[in-house]
Structure formats: C-alpha cells, structure tokens
Amino acid sequence: MSFDRVFKERPFKWGNVSNFMHFMADEKLVSRLHEKIGHKQPMTDEEKVRYFKQRLLEEYENNKNVKMAVDVCVHCGLCLPACPTYIASGDPYNSPVGRADLIRAVIKSEKISGKLFGKAVGAVKKIDMEYLKKVYTYYWLCLICRRCGYACPFGVDQADVTRTVRAILYEIGMASRFTALTVDAHWKSGNNMNLTPGAVKSIIDFVVKEIKQEKGVELKVKIDEPAYALLLPSSADYFMNMETLKGYLLFLYAAGIDYTLSTKAAETANFGLFLHPKHLQGLAEKYVSIARELGVKLVIAGECGHAWRAHKNYTLPRLREYGIELVHIHHLVVKAIKEGKIKLNPEANGDIVYMYQDPCQYARGGDLTEEPRFILNHVAKKWVDPEHNRSWTWCCGGQGGNLTDEVVPLVAQYARLWYEEALKAGAQWVIRPCSICKAQLSHVVPYLNKWYNKELKYSGLMDLVYRALVV
Amino acid sequence: MNPLYIALYGYLPYIVVLIFVVGVIYRIVMWVNAKGLVGLYNANVCLYRDGWGTTTIEVLKRIFIFYTLPGRDKDQSLFIGSFLFHWGIWIALIGHLGIIIPGKYLESWFGLSPSLHHAIALYVGGTAGTIALVGLLILIIRRITGRTVTIKLVNEYKVRIPLTMLSFLDDYFAVAILLAIIVLGLSQTLGITPTNPMYIDEISNWMWSLVTFHPNVSTIVADPLLQVHALLAMIFIAYFPWSKMMHPFSFLFMPTIARPAIKVKSP
C-alpha cells in the first residue's frame, strides 16, 4: 500500500513518538512565506533561542488564551484521557499537559519562582536548539482538535497554545514542510492544490456532464461571474471528492440559488490556522476581497472542518463589515428541506448503516452538529451516532497539519479511535463531511481495514444529498 | 506581651489582606489587559452558546456544580474530590463569618442565640470541614498515585494519568498547606462542645478587634492550635493571588467560556 515504506522507516513505538518529527520546510520556502507577512527571521541559533523566549513571554503577557492557560492549569490531568494523541500513543509529551509543560518550563525559567526553585517548579535550565526541536516535534503532532479544551474544567484550550507556539517556531524558521507548502500554494494559486483556472473550468465541465448522465439535468455553473452567492468548495473536492462537489452543484440548482465559483478561490481551506495568525488573516482576506469583487451577498463554505472554524470565527465577521453573510452549505440544505424546496429520496442511499462522525472543528468551535444530523434524517434510511459524538467526537487523525506523509504510521494509530467507534456500533459507512477527514481516511482506512479485517467505507454528507436528490 | 504575637496576629493580618486584595486585582487586570487572542479571534468551548444568558449559565454551572468533571472516560475521583473539597471549603468559609462577629452581635443583629450558634458551628462546620478534608485527601492521593482511565471501544484503551510527572513544587505546596489548615481548623471546630462554649467567642473577640482596627491578640495567646491555623491561613491567603489558586476567578475571564460564540445567520 501507498505508505508501506513510511511504516518501515518510521515504526510506531508505544510511549515514545519523538521519531515522528514533521519534515521541516527549507529556508527558501520559509523566507518566501515570511515575505508574505513582512517578517524577518533571526539568523543564528543563539538569536533564534533568544527570540523564541522573548516572543513566548510576549505572548504570555499579551495573549489571553496563552496567559490564562499558563496561569490557570492546576495539573488535574483531565485533558490526558481526552486527547487522542495521548490515548493512542502513550507518550506523555504527546499530550495537552505535556505540551503545555514544554513551554511553561521556558516561561517559568524567566520567573522569580523558576529562578529560585528551578526544576522543582518545572523551570527548564537550558533552552537551546535541541530543546526547541523537541518543542517543534510535539507541537506539530498536536491535532488542534480542541478535545482537551472541552475536557478542561477551566476551558484551557491547549490547541490555541499549540497554534501560538507553532507561530513562534515558524517565525524562527521552524515550520512543517507540508503545511508550509500548502500555505504557499494557497497564496500563489488561490487553492491548496495549485489548480489553475483552466483546470477548475475543465473539471466543472466534466462534473456537469456526469450530473447530466446520472441525474438527467443540465446545470449551468457560473464561474467568476457576478451572482448572489459565492460557493467555496475544498480544492480536494475538484478531484478527490467529486461526489461531494456534485452534491453542492445539484443541491444549489435544485434549491434555486444563484451562485458562482471563483477560479481565484477554488478553495475553502485556510491552513494559516495551523501555521501563523498572519497567514490565517492574509488567506481569509483573499476570500473577503474575492467576495467583494464578485459583488455577492452570501458566501457558502463547503465541507471542510478547519476551514469552517476559520470562516465562522474570522472570515464571517470581516465579511459582515461589507454586508456579506457566510453560511455552511449544510445550513442551506436544512433550510431548503424545511421550506420544502428540495425533494429527497433516502432509498437512493440504500440499506447501508451509516455513521455520522462530527469533524472536530464543526463540533468544537463551529456550532455545526445538529444541521448535518437533520440532513441525514432525510437522506439515509439507517444511520447511527457514535457513542463519542458532537463535542466528544474523535479527530480523524489528520487535523492540524498531520496529513503529511511522514507521520502516517502515527496518525493511523490516532485513527483507531474513530474507526473502532464505527465498528462497535456496526456501521458500514462513515460520514465525515470534512476535506481533511476524507484525505486522512484515504491514507489510513486501507491499513485499518486490513488490520481489523473489515471493509469500512467513508464519504462526505453532500455525497448522500447528491444521490438522494430528486430532480 | 511578646511583640512577635502582636506583629503576627495584630498587624500581619492587615498586610495579608492587602496583599490578597491587591494581588487578586492585579492578576485580574493582567488577564483583562491581555487582549490578544490566538488567531485574532475567539472560539468557544461550548456548542451553540451564542448569547449572554447561556454564557452566564455556563460560567455558573462550571463554578458551582463542576458539571464538566464527571462522565464517560473521565477520572471520577477528580469530580468526587473536587466537589467535596470545594463545597466543604465554601461552607466552612461562610461559617467563619460566625467567628468574625462576636456572639453578642450575632444575637442582637441576627437573633442567633449562642447555643444555636455553637450547634451550627459544631455540626454544620464540622461536617463541612470533614467533607473538605475527605475531598482534599482524595485529590492528594490521586496526585501522588496517578490514575488510569479505561476508554472502551472495540479494544480497551488504558490511559495512564501520570500526575506525579506533571506535578511540581507549587502543586504540592498548595495541597500541603491546605491540608494542614483544614486539619487544624477541623480539630478546633470539633472541639466546640457545650462544655467549652466560650471557644468561639475567644476567637471572635480577636477577629472582631481586627475588623474594628483595634487589634487585641490577648484572647488567643493561650491557643497554639489556633495560632498555627491562623498563621498558615495567612500564608495561604498571601500566596493565593500569585499562584494557580486564582483558578476560581478564571471562569469569568476565560475567553473560551466567558464569551458568546459568533452566530451564523442563515439567509
């Protein structure tokens, strides 16, 4: 199978996963990205260490999430049995409190208590590039799934600390190659997959033909034209999740919504979320300016968890400044069903037992858990909820930049949790309406099916809507 | 009288209260002043909580009923220990009002007779102290021994919580001093018997003298247990604002809990 070589080169060892350090982006790539956000990185190792400490203390003073996380955590350990990375790896550093302590040690070392009592209060004596590599390793293995934040009685969101620490590491030139390449592609081409405008148009032509063959209707899809709404599919939907893409197009046709696609934004993702706030902001601003250029009143986000988090919490407030609203495609499907605008036939999705598994960022920070279930009630005959549902959903294992090839043997372990959840309930097909989930599943499901001797399948939710739509 | 007594029990309490008040305000101001948010926005840790009403209820539920602690995949000892400890401490703290105000004022202001006051102190205070002690012991034991939580899927995942590895001097200092304060306080409370009815008044005369800014430590000179209890309590109160003990106040300022989420408006 595709990742056999990685499994050999990087074997998973229970209790110590430090061998799964993400490959680092090279200097050229990091410099190009730094230019985008107007950052000049420190050069020597000594300068980098000093810069890291100084920026960490700055964030501790000025960033409410970080300050309160460090100040408030009482080491109760409740986040440990909530964290999929720890449950599946047994490595204490690969856990929320373990990661937090790696940087609390740095902050403590600069405080009076740390200077007086040193290691006894958790302060670290020597901070050098080796130490920063350890920080880098474990902070990039965090899934940013936010399960720890929901478990913490105080709401300490270690995922936010992760993002802050990653941002500082990036500023000194330490960034995961996969995420850096993805962000770079997004800046250059407007999407993660480097799709050209010509490719977008050809794929849409192809999809429209398929829809005609399968559903008997000929769609006219606007591309880069003024419309009421701008649809943002994931770039992966253009060639990996075509059924999902067909679902968007046919649904919008059936619901009578005037929309356009944009070749400048053949994407809904925002990997800036995993790398640096300024990249998150910059990429989100691209969406805002394209929506304004096209004169739309509504932006429709496609199926993608992290993108929805970035859109709901950052892009939406920015769009509102220009009188533009933003919704998820699922919101529109629910509305259309309630208003009787579309006809759905659940028989079309057969007698399969589906399981709905919430993508992390819909259920933790996205307020999007009931809408997909409402839709499933109308498009599937049989579906079940996992025991760990909604805010307690398991991450697919590929979030937070962990879709990268070199960590597949580890993230396949993370994925056991949701996979076993499906097996336990007797589900045959898992619905995960998220582009990262689907990509991660394409990596790990072949292995999981082999290990458990099962034939579990997966897809997005709009795939089922597509099949169920009567037009 | 030994000037050390006067300094420790006549003047130190004022300094301690000042440190506490200034410290708590300082820490809260620091939290409020830290205006930056990760990723330039805020994301809630609650589902569909996009109004101030639901947000307030969430904060109160977390503070008073610890509702996020029990449940599947959780270490139940944390909920039991925390619930008992905190409620025991809160009731005991409220009970301390009864030894700040002298008996004669309690009777004339609130109609609380000395016998009823003693009974409440003994039975309610004693129960609260015991509950707090049991709760704290549970928390200490789990911190020292660590815990294992089993997550049952197709396989069982035994998740070790290595609390010793994640505990430091400040964690142990806080629980050790609290344990000493509770044990000493409880032993005094349980010593309030009908044969020793003046016990409460001895303390309240000292406390009231502090409240009225006329410190008089003579009534507690012969009570070493109380002196140690009070001294440890003063150390703890002064330590409180500079430590993780500030955690109860955090609920009001934690960006992930105390702010309503952004609402999506379907057209």
Average pLDDT, chain A: 96
User: A114 pLDDT band (50/70/90 cuts)?
Assistant: confident
Name the maximum alpha-carbon separation found in chain A. Answer: 76
Lowest mean pLDDT among A450-454, B22-26, B48-52: B48-52
Chain A residue nearest residue B260, CA to CA: A365
What tokens appear for A135 in the block?
């920080």
Contact: A80, B161; criterion CB under 8 Å: yes
**Cβ pair A155:B45 closer than 8 A:** yes
Fold of A343-470: Rossmann fold (3.40.50)
Provide the CA B51 distance to its chain's centre, in angstroms.
Answer: 29
pLDDT of residue A1: 74
List, as ranges, residues 201-240 from A with C-beta within 8 Å of B. Answer: none
Q: Which residues of A touch B151 (CB under 8 A)?
A: 81, 87, 417
List chain B residues with CB under 8 Å of A151: 68, 74
Q: How far is B52 from chain A (nearest CA, A)?
A: 16
Residue carrying structure tokens 């499901």: A445
Say yes or no for a CB contact (<8 Å) between B47 and A313: no
- B39 has a pLDDT exceeding 70: no
Residues of chain A contacting B166 with CB distance shorter than 8 Å: 75, 77, 92, 97-98, 101
Q: Which of B151, B161, B255 sits opposite A77 (nearest CB)?
A: B161
The reported pLDDT for the residue numbered B36 is 82
pLDDT over 90 at B193, yes or no = no
Mean pLDDT for the stretch of residues B230-259: 95
Average pLDDT over residues B43-49: 88
Yes or no, beta carbons of B151 and A160 under 8 Å apart: no
Cα→Cα distances A44→A26, A48, A55, A58, Å: 16, 6, 16, 21
Residue range A438-456: mean pLDDT, rounded: 97
Instruction: Note whether B261 contacts A65, CB cutoff 8 Å.
Output: no
A303 and A245 in contact (C-beta within 8 Å)? Answer: no
At residue A361, the 3 state secondary structure works out as helix
- Of A11-15, A106-110, B166-170, the range with the highest mean pLDDT is A11-15
Q: Say whether pLDDT at A368 is over 70.
A: yes
In this predicted structure, the answer to whether residue B197 has a pLDDT above a threshold of 70 is no
Segment A266-283 shows an average pLDDT of 97
Q: What pLDDT sits at residue A306?
A: 96
Interchain contact, B154 vs A390, CB within 8 Å: no
Question: What is the average pLDDT value for chain B, to the nearest integer?
Answer: 92
Please state the rounded mean pLDDT for residues B107-127: 89
How far apart CA B135 and CA B142 sit, in angstroms, is 11
Give residue A52's pLDDT. 96
Q: Is A242 touching B (CB cutoff 8 A)? A: no
CB contact under 8 A, A64 and B244: no
CB B151 within 8 A of CB B204: no
Contacts of B192 (CB under 8 A, 6+ apart): B118, B121, B122, B125, B199, B200
Region of poorest pLDDT, from A131-135, B41-45, B119-123:
B41-45
Give A186's contacts (C-beta < 8 A, 6+ positions apart): A192, A267, A269, A270, A271, A283, A286
pLDDT at residue B227 above 60?
yes
Query: Is A82's Cβ below 8 Å from some Cβ in B?
Result: yes
Candidate from B45, B75, B169 with C-beta closest to A157: B45
* pLDDT given for residue B45 in this prediction: 87
Split at pLDDT 50, 70, 90, the class of A190 is very high
pLDDT of residue A110: 86
Q: Percentage of chain A surpassing pLDDT 90?
A: 93
Whether pLDDT at A19 is above 60: yes
Contacts of B42 in chain A (CB under 8 A): 313
Q: In chain A, what residues touch B257 (CB-CB under 8 Å)?
A: 154-155
* pLDDT at position B190: 87
Could you report the per-residue pLDDT of A397-421, keeping only the tens digit for each? 999 999 999 999 999 999 999 999 9
Q: What residue spans in chain A does CATH classification 1.20.1050 cover?
A: 181-338
Determine, for residues B40 and A280 on separate chains, whether the beta-carbon distance falls below 8 Å: yes
Q: How close is the nearest chain B Cα to the Cα of A121, in Å?
A: 5
CB-based contact B38 A277, cutoff 8 Å: yes
Q: Is A312 exposed, middle or buried (0-12, 13-18, 19+ CB in 10 A)?
A: buried
Q: Do A164 and B50 touch (CB under 8 A)?
A: no
> Mean pLDDT throughout B214-243?
93
Q: Do B38 and A164 touch (CB under 8 A)?
A: yes
By Cβ distance, the residue of B47, B162, B168 closest to A92 is: B162
CB A71 to CB B256 under 8 A? no
- Indicate whether A448 pLDDT > 80: yes
- Which amino acid is residue B175, in one-letter code? V
The reply to whether residue A154 touches residue B247, judged by beta carbons under 8 angstroms, is: yes
Whether pLDDT at B200 is above 80: no
Region B8-16 average pLDDT:
96
Predicted local distance difference test score (pLDDT) of residue A11: 96
Interface test with A, best of B29, B38, B80 (most A CBs within 10 A): B38
State the best of A74, A121, A164 to mutate against chain B, taking most chain B CBs within 10 Å: A74
The span from the CA of A262 to the CA of A359, in Å, is 25
pLDDT band per the 50, 70, 90 thresholds, residue B194 = low
A371 touches B: beta carbon within 8 Å: no
Four-way CATH pick for B3-250: 1.20.950.20, 3.40.190.10, 3.30.470.20, 1.10.260.40: 1.20.950.20
A-chain residues near B169 (CB < 8 A)? 117, 120-121
Model pLDDT, residue A120 = 82
Whether A100 and A56 have beta carbons less than 8 Å apart is answered as no
For the segment B178-198, the average pLDDT, to the nearest whole number, is 83
Whole-angstrom distance, CA of residue A98 vs CA of residue A104 = 10
8 Å CB contact of A365 and B147: no
C-beta atoms of A280 and B39 within 8 A = yes
Cβ proximity of A34 and A41 under 8 Å = yes
Q: Which residues lie closer than 8 Å to A326 by C-beta, 6 or more apart? A: A298, A299, A300, A301, A311, A312, A315, A316, A319, B264
pLDDT at A123 over 60: yes
Domain A181-338 has CATH 1.20.1050: yes
User: Which residue of chain A is at minimal alpha-carbon distance from B39?
Assistant: A277
Q: Which of residues B257 and B201 earns the better pLDDT score?
A: B257
Q: A63 vs B34: CB contact, 8 Å cut-off?
A: yes
Residues 6+ apart with CB under 8 A from A209: none
Residue B65 has pLDDT above 60, yes or no: yes
For A95, the closest chain B residue by CA position comes to B161
- Smallest CA-to-CA distance from A17 within A434, A410, A447, A440 is with A410
Which residue ranges make up each domain of chain B?
3-250
Nearest 10 degrees: CA dihedral of B177, B178, B179, B184?
90
Could you give the CA distance from residue A348 to residue A379 in angstroms, rounded to a whole number?
A: 8
pTM of structure: 0.94
- Nearest CB among A86, A157, A309 relative to B159 is that of A86
The residue among A276, A289, A275, A281 whose CA lies nearest residue A310 is A281
E strand or H helix at A301: strand A298-301
Q: What fold, for A4-175?
A: Fumarate Reductase Iron-sulfur Protein; Chain B, domain 2 (1.10.1060)
CB-based contact, A14 to chain B, within 8 Å: no
As for the ipTM of the complex, it is: 0.92
Whether chain B has a CB inside 8 Å of the CB on A53: the answer is no
Residue ranges of A 161-180 with Cβ closer than 8 A to chain B: 161, 163-164
**Between B143, B162, B169, which is nearest A117 by CB?**
B169
pLDDT of A230 strictly over 60: yes
Using pLDDT thresholds of 50, 70 and 90, give the confidence band for residue B196: low
Task: Give the whole-number percent of chain B exceeding pLDDT 90.
Answer: 69
Chain A residues within an 8 Å CB radius of B260: none
Decide if pLDDT at B149 tops 80. yes
